[in-house]
Amino acid sequence: MKITILDGNALNPGDLSWAPVEKFGDLTVYPRTAQEDVVSRIGDSDVILLNKINITEEVLSKCPNLKYIGVQATGYNVIDLEACRKHNVTVTNVPSYSTAGVAQMVFAYITEFASRPALHNESVKKGDWVKCPDFCYWKTPLIELEGKTLGIYGYGSIGRRVAQIAKAFGMKVIVCTRTPKTDIENPVDFSTLLNESDFITLHAPLTDKTREVINKTTLPLMKKSAYLINTARGLLVNEKDLAEALNNGTIAGYAADVVSEEPMKDDNPLLTAKNSIITPHIAWAAVETRQRLLDIVVENLKCWTDGKPQNVVS
């Protein structure tokens, strides 16, 4: 069996091993692949593994040997699933592998906004503490999380983990979700979530209903002291409206690990917005998280070769 990995550098820049995949056949790994090279690199492969490469009807029609696509991620919007069904190509993904890592990132943002260690470290390193007449100082008001309200928009595995951590901090948790669930202690509608939350964290999938759900109409419903966090999808927010809200003080701050176009474009308004923290899609990047992902990618491939495919999305 011929196997090609089209953008291996995302999952494995060199600190993991592809050996478990090599056991299934002749493996070729490309660190990254430009869209115009996709067809030539797939060639007569039976199997491809990928992260963010677009697979279209045109690609599939030119690669008749292809039988299996293993998406090395949870999201699979880069794949034309209808075309895959037409060409009898099985597509699998990897759900729920990054729950711990993403929830950890959410609280990295929350605790940064609350306690501002980066700001004060920078101040100390500049000599401010050395010159200070008092034993302590703070450069901005600090926040205690105990008793604050965390609003969670979307309540899958990550939203649930975030709720557990929030409760350990003594926070009140309220949840807005499209799918009613019996284990939600404080379910609310979206307007209530916006009105009452001190922190809001987005964990909904990107759909027609959730696209740009944060916009010039919904942002003013939030507290001026509230912080918004997005580790889900960049297009859950209207970035232009959000940048304006940050710059004029409509909300207190924004932290995101995702943007509308990745890599981020130099004209993205969030690059220069006040009180924004942007990280380069790294919530899934801990070595333990990526190893878990790779293990499931391998298991998906094994199940497919055994005729019992799992995590099928096609």
Active site residues: 233, 262, 281
Encoded tokens for 161: 């983990």
- Please tell me whether the peptide bond between 263 and the residue prior to it is cis, using omega within 30 degrees of 0: yes
Q: Confirm if 37 and 48 have CB atoms less than 8 A apart.
A: no
Query: Which token pair is 190?
Result: 């979206």
CA proximity to 28, closest of 55, 1, 53: 1
**Rounded CA gap, 29 and 5, in Å?**
5
How far apart CA 291 and CA 178 sit, in angstroms, is 31
- Per-position b or e across 137-161, b if 16+ CB within 10 A of its CB: eeeeeebebeebbbbbbbbbbbbbb
